[in-house]
């Protein structure tokens, strides 16, 4: 394996390993922001805080996509790696992609439930 290939594969693995942590931390930070700041200052700010959470999740998703696009530059011409190909080629990393998606959905659900419960 060329050095650039190994370096980019390591970088993509690191990003995918830690992506689910970004989703959980984003939900926690948005929940705390709503609890201590937004509901007192901006009445009815629930959906704004939830959109802030969605923006954080989308930015993590785009960052992972950017790392895969950068990884594609190290591959031979005509060979491209997408999320779905990535999941089938590197099965241990494919599980991490879906873990990130599941944690994002579950964290978003709990964030909405938390904000509605506090009201």
Q: Smallest Cα–Cα separation from 96: which of 83, 110, 109, 108?
A: 83
Exposed, middle or buried: residue 110 (CB in 10 Å: 0-12, 13-18, 19+)? middle
Q: What is the rounded distance in angstroms from the CA atom of residue 7 to the CA atom of residue 76?
A: 15
Which pLDDT tens digit goes with each residue over 1-31? 567 677 777 877 888 788 888 888 889 999 9
Q: Smallest Cα–Cα separation from 15: which of 67, 56, 71?
A: 67
Which pLDDT tens digit goes with each residue over 40-96? 888 778 888 899 999 988 888 888 778 777 777 777 777 676 766 767 777 777 777
Q: What is the rounded distance in angstroms from the CA atom of residue 98 to the CA atom of residue 100?
A: 5
């Amino acid at each position: 394996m060329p050095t650039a290939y190994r370096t980019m594969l390591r970088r993509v693995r690191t990003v995918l390993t830690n992506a689910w942590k970004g989703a959980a931390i984003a939900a926690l930070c948005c929940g705390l922001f709503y609890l201590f700041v937004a509901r007192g200052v901006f009445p009815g700010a629930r959906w704004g805080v939830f959109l802030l959470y969605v923006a954080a999740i989308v930015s993590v998703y785009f960052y992972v996509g950017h790392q895969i696009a950068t990884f594609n530059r190290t591959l031979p011409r005509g060979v491209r790696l997408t999320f779905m190909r990535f999941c089938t080629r590197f099965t241990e990393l494919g599980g991490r992609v879906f873990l990130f998606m599941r944690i994002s959905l579950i964290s978003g659900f709990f964030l909405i439930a938390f904000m509605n419960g506090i009201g």
